[in-house]
Amino acid sequence: MKVSLLFLCLFFLGQIPEAQSQLLKEKILIGRIEWVQIPDLQIKHRARIDTGAKTSSLHAVNIEEVDQRGELFVKFQTVDDEGKIVELVRKVDTTQKVSNTAGFVSKRYVIKEKIKLGKFEKEILINLNDRSKMEYKFLVGRNLLLGRFIVDVARSHVLGD
């Protein structure tokens, strides 16, 4: 009985590196900074990859609630990769309470948009936040990364410029 149990343990332990290797082959390697596109908004940004952030975040200022046929929308301004101001109106999917690194909690509007990171595309929730004091106007959170990407923090622009 002990020999059978030992054999089964060794057999399954031997499979772990192969299984891990297969999982790694299926994931896309990215660096700490990558280009992201929001095709429907025609915006492209150098984005900071943040595995600690639950939700991705887009720079937005002058946010105003707008009622359209009984549905909540937000009108806001953001910038493109050249710093040009872009004014947008998007449907609010939800709101979130978000804690920053200092522990300050704020309410943020959340929109749903398709994001393109390299060749990978996914519709995700994006919270709107004033990132004007931050170098990167888009932050990629775990809601885009989970299960698809491996982040090498020693590199950037792995997917190209």
Per-residue model confidence as pLDDT tens digits over 127-142: 999 999 999 999 999 9
Whether the pLDDT of residue 6 is over 60: the answer is no
Write down all domains in the chain, each with its CATH number in brackets: 28-152 (2.40.70.10)
Side-chain-facing half-sphere of 56: CA atoms under 13 Å: 27
Give me the torsion for CA of 114, 130, 134, 160, rounded to 10°. Answer: 10
DSSP characters over 95-120: EEEEE-TT--EEEEEEEEEEEEETTE
pLDDT in tens, 86-128: 999 999 999 988 777 788 888 899 999 999 999 999 999 999 9
Contact between 74 and 66 under an 8 Å Cβ cutoff? The reply is yes
Closest CA to 64 of 53, 75, 49: 75
pLDDT in tens, 17-69: 554 454 556 899 999 999 999 999 999 999 999 999 999 999 999 999 999 99
